[in-house]
Amino acid sequence: MHGMRVNMQLTSRAAHYIIGAVIVFLQMLCICQSYAATPSLEEIIRKTEHTAYYLGKDGSAHVKMIITDSQGRERKRRFTILRLDEQANGQDYAGPAGDQKYYLYISYPSDLKNTVLLVWKHPASDDDRWLYLPALDLAKRIVASDKRTSFLGSDFLYEDISGRDVTADTHQLIETTNDYYVLKSVPREPDTVEFSEYTMWIHRQTFLPVKVEYLDKQGKKYRVYEALAVETIQGYPTVTRSRMQDLALRQESIMEFTRIKYDREIPEDIFTERYLRNPPRELLR
């Protein structure tokens, strides 16, 4: 009798568990379906590119960058960035990435204050870049053939800031975890870059790249990007703090984004020589 009660209890508990498991399983199914039943590789890549570089039709942010060298010495940069997408990178994420314009106003350190970098980004060809040096009132054209040069002396490269052409690499989905799609990418023209491959962990819900690990030509990990904090701003999941580590030089750069705004209706003429020489103060606030 006593034993039977125990058995009964066990049975009812087991039933509970089974029902619970079924519910969880059904929920998981539902989630999987809402995940669009494992998107294609192409879709993952396009959506990732979109969330990383093309959110909204324009955007702006204040950026603080801290570069810490192997001896712990810090250098700081402060700039404001304005971005405009030339043509909406359509919701279907199909076709090549669109042209963009970037306006970057530097306010720190003092010797770079009021310096402006203007970039017309062409994913498929060389960018157009201008640098405005205020002390000379000089609107200089700068060469932009190598997009893998350091951005403002940090561990981030130009390409990290404005996005690497996704067609420059071949991509492979190597794993799907609870949180991530894990992509391995190999450059089509290895001679033009310093890495041999990189692995990217893409958050499955938001398609934000959370971590990227680069291997050098010897196959050794030497460069790591990480998204450290994310906020949803005007409905867009946005990285607000990120880090690039250079393992070989044992130094790192951290970027912190504040005053992030999307869809500000930034006029296209902001990205011309007029505003290179006279910064659009209202938009830079």
- In the chain, the amino acid numbered 266 is I
**Type of residue numbered 175:** E
69 and 208 Cβ atoms separated by less than 8 Å: no
Q: Does 75 bind another protein (CB under 8 A)?
A: yes
Per-residue contact string for residues 1-40; x = within reach of another protein by CB under 8 A: ----------------------------------------
Stretch that binds another protein, among 45-53, 87-95, 161-169, 209-217 (CB under 8 A): 209-217
Contact flag: residue 189 with another protein (CB under 8 A): no
DSSP string, 28-87: HHHHHHHTTSS--HHHHHHHHHHHHH--SSEEEEEEEEEEE-TT--EEEEEEEEEEEESS
**Half-sphere exposure of residue 279, counting CA atoms within 13 Å on the CB side?**
24
Find out whether 212 and 200 touch, Cβ atoms under 8 Å: yes
Cα dihedral 243, 40, 190, 221 sign: positive
Q: With binding defined as CB under 8 A, does residue 68 bind another protein?
A: no
Identify whether the C-beta of residue 61 lies closer than 8 Å to the C-beta of residue 81: yes
Q: Which of helix, strand or coil describes residue 10? A: helix
Among 121, 201, 252, 254, binds another protein (CB under 8 A): 201
Q: Which is nearer to another protein, 189 or 282 (CB)?
A: 282
| Residue 188 is a binding residue for another protein (CB under 8 A) | no
Q: Work out the end-to-end distance of the chain between its first and last CA atoms, rounded to an integer number of angstroms.
A: 78
Stretch that binds another protein, among 13-21, 26-34, 84-92, 227-235 (CB under 8 A): 227-235
Altogether, the residues listed in the chain come to a count of 285
Q: Which of 221, 236, 262, 264 binds another protein (CB under 8 A)?
A: 221
- Counting contacts by CB under 8 A, is residue 199 touching another protein? yes
Note whether 165 binds another protein by CB under 8 A: no
Which of 14/133 has CB closer to another protein? 133
65 part of the interface to another protein, by CB under 8 A: no
Residue closest to 238 by CA, chosen among 283, 208, 211, 212: 208
Give the footprint of another protein on this chain (CB under 8 A): 67, 69, 73, 75-76, 78, 108-111, 113, 120, 126, 128, 133, 135-139, 141-143, 145-146, 148-150, 152-154, 177, 179-180, 182, 199, 201, 203, 205-206, 208, 210-211, 213, 215, 221, 226-232, 237, 239-241, 251, 256, 258-259, 269, 272-274, 278, 281-282, 285
